[in-house]
Amino acid sequence: MTHSQFSFASSLVLLFLVSTESAGLAASAQCSVELRKCNSHCNLVYESKRANRVCRDRCKDTFYLCKARPS
């Protein structure tokens, strides 16, 4: 393999890694937005501490499921 072939192949690998990482970060950012919206909803709707805590726990569960989703 010549130097130019090696540099071309390594640049392709680098572009692939960057594109897959940015997709993962975008999914993570979307999950964070959903978590903030859910927590805000819990704060607005539920007055009792217990109901608010249950709602927030549901938000956390949804957040972890969102992060586990394949991009």
* pTM given for the model: 0.60
Q: Where are the domains of the chain?
A: 3-68
Model confidence at 58: pLDDT above 80: yes
* Residues 9-37: b if buried by 16+ CB within 10 A, e if exposed: eeeeeeeeeeeeeeeeeeeeeebeeebee
Q: Which one has a higher pLDDT value, 53 or 21?
A: 53
Share of the chain above pLDDT 70, in %: 63
Q: Which one has a higher pLDDT value, 5 or 31?
A: 31
